[in-house]
Amino acid sequence: MQLTREEEKAISGEYGEANAMAYRILVAIGEATDAQNLIPIKWAHVSGVNYNTIGDSGLNFLRKISEDGGRISVKSSLNPMGFDRRNIPDLPQDFIDKQLEITTYYERIGITPTFSCIPYEILPIPESGTQVSFAESNAAVLANSHLNLITNKESALSALASAIVGKAPYSDLRTEEYRNPTTEIVNESDIENELDYGLLGYFIGKTMKKSCTGLCNLSKKTDFWNIKSLSAGIGTSGSCGMFKIKESSKNNEKISFGDKEFKETKDELNTSEDGQIITFGSPQLGFEEICKITALIEGKKFTKPCKIFCPRSVFDKSEECGISSILQKSGAEFICDACTCLTPLIKKENYDSIITNSVKAAYYMKTSNKISVALKDVKTIVKEYSN
Amino acid sequence: MKIKCKKIVGGIAKGKLLFSDQPINFLAMLDLKTGQIMDTNHKLNNLALKDNILVFPNAIGSSVGAYTIFSLKNNNTSPNGIICTNSVDITTASGCAISNIPLVYIEKNNYEILKNHYEEKGKNSEDVLLDAENESIILN
């Protein structure tokens, strides 16, 4: 990769150790992805906040970056942490202290503490074709596929490095060549709701070895919740960072997603018939989705505990509109700043099984938290678990 | 025998080859304390990465997997070196970069040579030398 003289100086430590570390990360990625040079980006979304996931090593790394003068040079937002900062739950004090310490370092680096995995629903979207740097796999896939933004499927560290340096290696999905699919998934099953879209996404991630996939026989006009589930599914199971809903092309290699593939995917993730608690929000719910659940549950009560994970700003808006109180009256509990995925709030000690409509939650609950999952779409959940 | 590879993160590592034809979601699958893969759907289930040279297609899933690699290194449970066989993804590259774990990429034909060597010698084969600096893997 070609570096400018300024970039060479930075990597040798002339602008501080944090800058040098950021450049070292970007150069390794440049080598890995055959980039010729670094290009400017306008927005970095950084993951690696939850103490449950980054642990003491991550905490120490962030402390060092913040002490070594690491400061953002572009707009930067932050992924969820382990719990709700304004409603601290009953967790070990050590966890709480370390989690808050991590957030202090990110704030010192200058990253806006959005604590959200859906930055695209809470911050203004830049103009079409803007280069950004999104870690958080659902956000990267959705940004490329639905918002006309340009990013690679970044890692927690590459997005942090790009937040500091304001640049990213020019490679892979950042180049036009890679954004045109040569392989396509042909949908041959009846895809209806957000759960079905999530399952399709999980299948795509698992099957597709390329950075961008075509997606045929699927309506372009679909609910945003469906697009979000599709993106989260793709991000969870694979390395693919973009889909394009399109007409089939003669020359493209084709992979079918029929009833058999649908069933196999569901059987892998749906590990329980029933669960002890309902969780919504992985990725976190946006305002529209909260409105949809409200419309379904209004006047009724959940028959099982129900946790709704959403960004603080989405909760505030729901509160202003009087929607959150309807949900709270129905027995739902809101948790801001966190997400179902790898939350320390749902542990094997307390729960054997959960009910959710999220394929991403199902995968991480099963694999990391060792908890069984009953996968049902939102309408079915409200129908079966309310009266 | 020497096999050519492409350097992504420099350094020299020694260890036994640990092969996986399946990708890895580092965040979801790894037990940080033991360095074992804990996923009943993965062929390396229960096997530890520690002290080995991990040969696998690429990482998948969570962007936070980069920190998992760093934690493994700090807990002394990381592989000594990593060889990617499909593509070197951003998660693995950045995780290895801050952990100083030598990381290389090998082309398909060289992967076949490596795999044959592994299958001939079995799991108890001698250590191989991964010399990322000189872009070569040295087999006994």
Q: Do residue B8 and residue A235 have CB atoms under 8 angstroms apart?
A: no
Best CA proximity match to B8, nearest among B103, B100, B98:
B103
Of A58, A135, A161, the CB nearest to B63: A135
- What beta strand segments (E) does chain A contain? 38-40, 43-46, 75-78, 133-134, 167-169, 183-187, 212-216, 242-245, 253-257, 277-280, 306-310, 332-336, 353-356, 372-375
The CATH number for B133's domain is 3.50.30.10
Q: Which of residues 289-308 of A touch B (CB under 8 A)?
A: none
Tell me the shortest Cα–Cα distance from A383 to chain B, in angstroms.
32
Q: Domain total for chain B?
A: 1
Residue B123 pLDDT greater than 80, yes or no? no
- Give yes or no for residue A281 having a pLDDT over 80: yes
Nearest to A217 by CA among A238, A180, A243, A251: A243
* Residue A267 CB partners (closer than 8 Å, separation 6+): none
Over residues A19-50, the pLDDT tens digits come to 999 999 999 999 999 999 999 999 999 999 99
B118 band by pLDDT with thresholds 50, 70 and 90: confident
In angstroms, what separates the C-alpha of B108 from chain A's closest C-alpha? 15
pLDDT of residue B121 exceeding 80: no
B54 pLDDT more than 70: yes
Domains of chain A: 5-175 (3.30.499), 180-268 (no CATH), 271-384 (3.30.499.10)
pLDDT for res A221? 83
CA–CA gap between residue A265 and residue A197 (Å, rounded) = 12
Q: Does B63 touch chain A (CB under 8 A)?
A: yes
Rounded to whole angstroms, the Cα distance separating B97 from B86 reads 19
What is the model's pLDDT at position A342?
A: 83
Active site residue B71: no
With a cut of 70, say whether residue B124 has pLDDT above it: no
Query: Does the beta-carbon distance from B8 to A28 stay under 8 Å?
Result: yes
Q: In this structure, what token pair is assigned to residue A108? A: 């010192």
Residue A109 has pLDDT above 80, yes or no: yes
Percent helix / strand / coil, chain A, rounded to 5? 45, 15, 40
Nearest CA among A200, A65, A213, A64 for reference residue A153: A213
User: Residue B22's closest CA among B50, B41, B3, B46?
Assistant: B41
Q: For residues A134 and A142, what is the distance between their CA atoms, to the nearest angstrom?
A: 10
A89 near A56, Cβ under 8 Å?
no
Interchain CB contact of B8 with A (< 8 Å)? yes
Chain A residues whose CB is inside 8 A of the B65 CB are: 155
Owning domain of residue B123: 2-138
CA distance A164 to chain B (A): 15
> CB distance from A24 to chain B under 8 Å?
yes
Distance separating alpha carbons of residues A122 and A311, to the nearest angstrom:
8
Residue B129 C-alpha, separation from nearest chain A C-alpha, in angstroms: 21
Once rounded to an integer, what is the mean pLDDT over residues A347-353? 93
| Whether the Cβ atoms of residue A214 and residue A246 lie closer than 8 Å to each other | yes
Give the ipTM.
0.95
Nearest by CB to B67, from A25, A29, A53: name it.
A53
pLDDT tens-digit profile of A243-270? 999 999 999 999 999 999 999 999 999 9
What is the overall mean pLDDT for chain A?
97
Of B58, B59, B63, the CB nearest to A154: B63
Q: How confident is the model at residue B25 (pLDDT cuts 50, 70, 90)?
A: very high
Q: How far is the C-alpha of A188 from the C-alpha of A249, rounded, in Å? A: 16
Q: A219-228, A372-381, B68-77: which range is least confident on average?
A: A219-228
Per residue in A146-200, pLDDT tens?
999 999 999 999 999 999 999 999 999 999 999 999 999 999 999 999 999 999 9
Q: Do B94 and A57 touch (CB under 8 A)?
A: no
